[in-house]
Amino acid sequence: MDDKILAASSKHPKPVDRVFQYGTAGFRMKANLLDSVVFRVGLVAALRSRKLGGQTIGIMITASHNPPEDNGVKLVDPMGEMLENSWEAYSTDLANAKDEDLLKVYKGLEEKLKVNRETPARVIYARDTRASGPALVRALVDALQATGSEYTDYKLLTTPQLHYLTRCTNTEGTPQSYGEVSEKGYYEKLSEAFVRAMKGKKTVGTVTVDCANGVGGPKLHELVKYLKKGSEGGVDIKIINDDVLKAESLNHECGADFVKTKQRAPPTSKAGNNERCCSLDGDADRIIYYFNDPEHGFRLLDGDKIATLAASFIGDLVREARLSDELKIGVVQTAYANGASTKYVEKSLGLPVACTPTGVKWLHHAATKFDVGVYFEANGHGTVVFSPQALKAFRTKDPESPAQAAALETLRALADLINQTVGDALSDMLLVETILAHKTWTPREWDLTYVDLPNRLVRVEVKNRYLFKTTDAERKLVEPQGLQEQIDALVSKVRDGRSFARASGTEDAVRVYAEAATRGEADDLASKVAGLCR
């Protein structure tokens, strides 16, 4: 194996003077810099699989909402979760090893982690629609062959589909089986669960889905074939921005990130007033809704609004199922969640809110502390996770009334409809459609549940962002010294004011967030805090 790794590695030299880091979204950068990184991620996957006794590890090649010329790679653990934290550091070490040291670093990890070379290594992988994908896959395969790994190429998939397949592969034939190990199995599971969750309820009109010209387009076309048409128990989906042949159109003037940051619909959207619209990102793990209100113009229904919608619906079902005493429901947010949404969850829904640092793995982890954990980042990445106790209660609770039986049935359906491994735009969309149909809500009624505080997010270029160290789920700075006190002083002068600064995990910048009772105060606070950070 040593010789094979050496020979293969010589085909994938590391660019000198480059430092790589496994960040919140794995490794991500201009695609032409990624060849050696992807090769080495293949080596990590082999190590990780062997360390876990031959369980299957997933690898996704994507740069999500980033421009078409970027790409990225991330690892998926056996149950479909993000890679365990300590292994991010091993991945970083291996990615940064000089070519001549690579074998030494690899064997060092083998020894340190007590990895047995005789144990089988198993890997599955997929990629999004970027032009750079196939060449990066070849680098990956070189590593998998050199390490004697068994592997399956799932070609084009959304990120959440790869997470789903990783979990299905590892639970196949066990009582915890998560579903059939195929792309078809994914569509069947979702569509069957959707019919059960809808229970003949009606969706109104159509929902326009902007697929960011990414992999979500062809996959949504596929899913639609499995869904019932028409309003009763089904949904009419109008797909836009599904061109995956024009590489440069990916995420260009469309997609969840465009809509969220520009606060407007993609120019290609022809949806009329009050019509439901949503946008996916480039790998379909994020979704946001929006509509045009004839009176107030463009209205965004972001991750916070999706989380509150899901928490209110599932909270009601749990009460109707008479499980409130047994099951703990909670919502997990980051500091970027609008203060009005936090207040709404705590005061109106009467549910606890936990706050974690940015990055889905932190939210996911915190959500598993609840029996029903609803987590979303404001930008639309999130899902709902159910504990084993919750799943058992949904199955075994004896209903004493038809209403209670119906609530339990809907809860069981939701547990299948909602992707338990990671935020999934397609699954989240069907969840939102289900809830709106049950509540007979228009997007306007959903929007009116609470009013967002005006807010502003500013990107601040600084000399060294690593000087900004935070505590309290990134809401307070401990360094540079004295800066937090200055921020606090500014915040205290503003009604409903809140502001924080933190180093971005994905860009070389500090992000400043501010919210306040009025637009003017929020803008002013953001720009003053940004001024302090420069």
Among 77, 285, 320, 433, binds Zn ion (CB under 5 A): 285
Contact 480, 532 (CB under 8 A): no
Q: How many CA atoms lie within 13 A of 62 on its CB side?
A: 32
Amino acid at 83: L
64 counts as catalytic: yes
Contact 218, 39 (CB under 8 A): no
SS3 71: strand
- Our finding on whether 494 is near ligand NG1 (CB under 6 A) is no
What's the Cα-to-Cα distance from 107 to each of 1, 83, 94, 534, rounded to whole Å? 11, 20, 10, 44
Partner in contact with 281, chosen from Zn ion, ligand NG1, none, beta carbon below 5 to 8 Å by kind: Zn ion
Residues 6+ apart with CB under 8 A from 397: 321, 322, 323, 404, 408
Among 381, 465, 498, 528, binds ligand NG1 (CB under 6 A): 381
Q: If you search the block for the tokens 């062997």, which residue do you land on?
A: 50
Number of residues that bind Zn ion (CB under 5 A): 5
Query: Least separation, in Å, of the C-beta of 502 and Zn ion?
Result: 20
Q: How far apart are CA 56 and CA 53, in angstroms?
A: 9
Q: Which two tokens stand for residue 197?
A: 């969750």
Active-site option among 9, 36, 49, 64: 64
- Our finding on whether 21 is near ligand NG1 (CB under 6 A) is no
User: Interface residues for ligand NG1 in 413-452 (CB under 6 A)?
Assistant: none
Query: Least separation, in Å, of the C-beta of 373 and ligand NG1?
Result: 18
Residue nearest to Zn ion (CB): 64
- Crossing angle of the two packed helices 2-10 and 35-51, in degrees rounded to 10: 160
User: Interface residues for Zn ion in 46-85 (CB under 5 A)?
Assistant: 64
- Our finding on whether 283 is near Zn ion (CB under 5 A) is yes
Q: How many CA atoms lie within 13 A of 255 on its CB side?
A: 26
Number of residues that bind ligand NG1 (CB under 6 A): 12
Partner in contact with 474, chosen from ligand NG1, Zn ion, none, beta carbon below 5 to 8 Å by kind: none
Looking at beta carbons only, is 154 or 441 nearer to Zn ion? 154
Max CA-CA distance within the chain? 70
Among 152, 231, 486, 504, binds ligand NG1 (CB under 6 A): 504
**Angle subtended at Cα 424 by Cα 26 and Cα 192, rounded to the nearest 5 degrees:** 145
Q: Which two tokens stand for residue 490?
A: 């500014």
Among 152, 274, 404, 506, binds ligand NG1 (CB under 6 A): 506
Partner in contact with 283, chosen from Zn ion, ligand NG1, none, beta carbon below 5 to 8 Å by kind: Zn ion
Residues 6+ apart with CB under 8 A from 217: 211, 239, 241, 242, 243, 244
- Our finding on whether 475 is near ligand NG1 (CB under 6 A) is no
- In 3-state terms the chain splits into helix, strand, coil percentages (rounded to 5) of 45, 20, 35
- Our finding on whether 379 is near Zn ion (CB under 5 A) is no
Partner in contact with 308, chosen from ligand NG1, Zn ion, none, beta carbon below 5 to 8 Å by kind: none
User: Interface residues for ligand NG1 in 33-92 (CB under 6 A)?
Assistant: none
Looking at beta carbons only, is 255 or 357 nearer to Zn ion? 255
- Our finding on whether 371 is near ligand NG1 (CB under 6 A) is no
Query: Least separation, in Å, of the C-beta of 510 and ligand NG1?
Result: 10
Q: If you search the block for the tokens 């029903």, which residue do you land on?
A: 372
First to last CA, the chain: 51
Among 41-49, 165-173, 236-244, 506-514, the segment contacting ligand NG1 (CB under 6 A):
506-514
* Residues that bind ligand NG1 in the complex, under the rule CB under 6 A: 24-25, 336, 358, 377, 379, 381, 504-507, 511
Q: Which residues are catalytic?
A: 64
* Residues that bind Zn ion in the complex, under the rule CB under 5 A: 64, 281, 283, 285-286
